[in-house]
Structure 1
Amino acid sequence: MENTEYRRNITVQYCFPDNNASCRKEVQAGPAYIFLFIILSCISVCTVFLNLLVIISISHFKQLHTPTNLLIRSLAAADLLVGLFVMPVNIMQLIDSCWYLGEMACSVIPLISFLAMVASIFSLVLIAVDRYIAVCDPLLYHTRVTVSNMSICLTLGWFSCLIYDTIFLYFNNHLTPAQLHTTCYGECVLVIKHPWLVADVVISFVIPCSVILVLYSLIFNVARHQAKAIRAVINGASHIKNISGSHQTKAAKKLGTIILVYLACYIPYSLNSISTESLTTASMVWPLFTWILYINSSVNPLLYSLFYVWFRASVKYIVTCRIFESSSSRFTLYSEHS
């Protein structure tokens, strides 16, 4: 019995063997975890690659410099943060219980994670507003919604999201290394207080989603009226007159699908957040629902490839390295009337 206990003790591993306050090390090395590691790593790499394609496309080709595409680029930037920083760290924590990146990274990574999520929903709200104005008041859209105005709005919006996330983490004692409450060295656990969970769900999910759903209900109501008007038109000139509205309606439906997919991925995370007294990243429920949310960052570029001709054309130019040609920024990716 004593020999068995002795063998058990000598097999205990620590994250930092030279540190007396080190946490115990638990490595998940079974076949199932190895397979999970490979799959999640591939998802992370694909997320980074696909969203980089979106960002490069919209940034490089002048034909894509429109207010709506700036919003798509903003959403892709948030998704890129998820694939580049958030996913790899979460994969590491699923396989190895130790935190090797230091106390500063323990504070910064959650900040990036929450910034990406809040910036995503902010971009989706602006997309809904953009489509509402384009469909319901196209004359106002072309005079008020410009590339420069949208750039300013996105800059202020991302800065506001950063301020909100800083306040959120500060009051949950996770903003600076001095605030971290760890039981041993090599641990990084974020514990969110229940009142802040509820407040965050309301501020970053319920209110934005309510705005999005109201705006899109109005958009599709207008779309039905436009469809009836187009069917009732016999005169060819009147039909041409309504092509712009029909085009805007199709764009609204495409972006509406992206928003619905996002909500489907976000709802499980939000419901779990408000159903627990406090949420800790050490629980098993947290990785499940957060990964459902993270995978949305991989899905969005795939939706672009299905919906947008310009994305497929730009990817072809990027992959074949034709963007390095001197006049590539002025390539025509799609017909203006298609």
Structure 2
Amino acid sequence: MQLQYCFETMNKSCEKNNWSNTIRIPMYVFMASTILATMVGNLAVIISIAHFKQLHTPTNYLILSMATVDFLLGCLVMPYSMVRSVENCWYFGEIFCKIHTGTDIMLSTASIFHLSFISVDRYYAVCDPLRYKERINLYTVLTMIIASWVLPAIFAFGMIFLELNIKGSEEYFYNEVSCVGGCFVFFSETSGIVASMLSFFVPGFVMICIYGKIYIIARRQARSIKDSANQIQIHIDLDGNQQVYRSRERKAAKTLGTIMGVFLICWSPFFFSTATGPFVNYVIPPIVIDAFVWVGYLNSTFNPMVYAFFYMWFRRALKMILFGKVFKFDSSRTILYYE
């Protein structure tokens, strides 16, 4: 089969994928469906939390911000990545390539930053409930949200526009990787380690430790409640609200722990390959790296599904959105769950 190039009239043009329509069409269908599901699912989360006053809580503000990250990834990043993945060509210009790559890294990093702060929120809710409202107040949550957006933005755009991601491997990049009509997410040995540690490994390790601590405390509380119930039945009646509260907080921690687990599973292949690829002479084929990127994108698709599976309030809110009940007068005061 004759080779095709992204720009036939230009020297050193990237090679275009010569896949037949039997491969290209299913790829476009799968990726477009993923994009649509990501946008619709996260938009439903955004509308639910923004509309219903009962959902205006510190944890839900963090979830709202994270859903916004995932929604933006779906509408600003994934469509262009789809064309690049199927065609192996970039038709949108060199400057926009840098903007796209920076936005991609920023939003992916912002997701795990949000998850890190959510784990801190859950730690205080489960392990120190008496001081939870004092420690996790509106000011604290706003600080977490701002940090989750600003720090990844500075890191991502600074690295891409200053070309720190190729520093130390410039000769290899320009001779072996760079071509006209390409837009590659490339990391040198140093930048690959720094990016993987900052965006994935360090915050991921911190989250695992925090949720491990939450699990231990929650088990201890459950045993304590069970022992108290066995010894003094009246105690259950007098302290029922507190037990229900603890049970709800443990369930929330379990749910958000599941979300964290999905994130780690989805993004592990990409970040492991990013960290190790430069040290093994980039033997991992670009098509495999690209597949890892899309596995990572699926995390943003799965998050709303986790909410729908675990949270009754989200299922009720989603039903009201689908049937247009949110447009009714005073629908924002609807009780979606009982304390």
TM-score, L = length of structure 1: 0.87
Residue from 302, 323, 328 that aligns with 2:326: 323
Asked whether 1:172 is paired with 2:165, we answer yes
Q: Distance in 2 between matches of 1:43 and 1:105?
A: 23
* Distance (Å, rounded) in 2 between the aligned partners of 1:280 and 1:78: 32
Residue 143 of structure 1 corresponds to 134
Between the aligned partners of 2:239 and 2:24, the Cα distance in structure 1 is: 62
Alpha-carbon offset, residue 39 of structure 1: 1.4
Counterpart for residue 60 of structure 1: 51
Name the amino acid aligned to 1:190. V
Offset, 1:13:
5.0
1:84 to 70, 75, 78: 75
Residue 271 of structure 2: aligned partner: 270
1:157-236 pair list within 5 angstroms: 157-169=148-160, 170=162, 171-172=164-165, 183-233=178-228, 234-235=233-234, 236=237
The answer for the alignment partner of 1:248 in structure 2 is 249
Q: Greater shift after overlay, 69-78 or 230-239?
A: 230-239
| CA-CA distance at 1:237 after TM superposition | 1.2
Q: Is residue 277–residue 284 contact of structure 2 (8 Å, CA) maintained in 1?
A: no
> 1:272, 1:20 → 2: CA distance?
30
> CA deviation digits over 1:146-198, x for unaligned, max 9?
23431232023311111111232221259xxxxx9585532222321111111
Aligned to 1:270, the other structure's residue is in SS state helix
SS at 2:180's partner residue? coil
Aligned pair 1:296/2:291, yes or no?
Answer: no
Which amino acid is the alignment partner of residue 41 of structure 2? L
Rounded to whole Å, the distance in 2 between the matches of 1:90 and 1:19 is: 23
Partner residue, 2:260: 259
Aligned to 1:51, what secondary structure does the other structure show? Answer: helix
What does 1:37-52 align with in structure 2 at a 5 Å threshold? 37-52=28-43
Residue 61 (structure 1) shift? 1.3
Shift of the 319–239 alpha-carbon distance from structure 1 to 2, 3 Å rule, reads closer
Q: Distance in 1 between matches of 2:203 and 2:14?
A: 40
1:190/1:281 contact within 8 Å kept = no
Do the aligned partners of residues 207 and 26 (structure 1) sit closer, same or farther apart at CA in structure 2, a change above 3 Å counting? Answer: closer
Letter of the aligned partner of 1:199 in structure 2? Answer: V
Question: Separation in 2 of the partners of 1:26 and 1:248?
Answer: 50
How many equivalent residue pairs? 322
CA displacement, residues 89-128 of structure 1 (integer Å, 9 cap, x when unaligned)? 2221122132111122101111111111111110111111
Distance change in 2, residues 1:232/1:38 (3 Å): same
SS of the residue corresponding to residue 53 of structure 1 reads helix
What is the RMSD computed on CA atoms of the aligned residues? 2.4
Matched to 2:194, the amino acid is A
Q: Distance in 2 between matches of 1:279 and 1:294?
A: 22
Instruction: Tell me: CA distance 1:315–1:241, structure 2 relative to 1, closer, same or farther (3 Å).
Output: closer
- Contact residue 190 and residue 280 of structure 1 kept, 8 A: no
| 2:297 is aligned with 1:283 | no
Question: Which secondary structure state, in structure 2, belongs to the residue aligned with residue 98 of structure 1?
Answer: coil
4+ long deviations beyond 3 Å? 11-27, 180-185, 238-241, 278-282
- Structure with the higher fraction of residues in helix conformation: 2
207-216 or 12-21, which moves further after superposition? 12-21
Percent identity of the aligned residues?
A: 35
8 Å contact kept, 1:14–1:25? yes
Deviations 1:48-88 (A, max 9, x none): 11111111111111111111111111221221122213222
Letter of the 1:138 partner, please give it.
Answer: P
CA distance in 2, matches of 1:272, 1:204: 14
Counterpart of 2:239? 238
Cα distance, 1:317 vs. partner? 1.6
Give the residue type in structure 1 aligned to 2:33. Answer: C
8 Å contact from structure 2 (residues 119, 211) kept in 1: yes
Distance change (3 Å), C-alpha of 1:103 and 1:282? farther
The answer to whether the 8 Å contact 1:121/1:204 transfers is yes
1:35 maps onto 2:30 in alignment: no
Q: Is the CA contact (8 Å cut-off) linking 1:189 and 1:280 kept in structure 2? A: no
Q: Give 5+ residue unaligned stretches, structure 2.
A: 168-172
Kindly provide the amino acid, as one letter, of the partner of residue 54 in structure 1: V
Preserved contact between residue 194 and residue 279 of structure 1 (Cα < 8 Å):
no
* 8 Å Cα contact 1:192/1:280 also seen in 2: no
Q: Taking structure 2 as the reference length, what is the TM-score of the superposition?
A: 0.87
Cα distance per residue 1:271-296 (max 9 Å; x no partner): 22222116699812211211111111
Counterpart CA distance in 1 for 2:306 and 2:264 is: 15
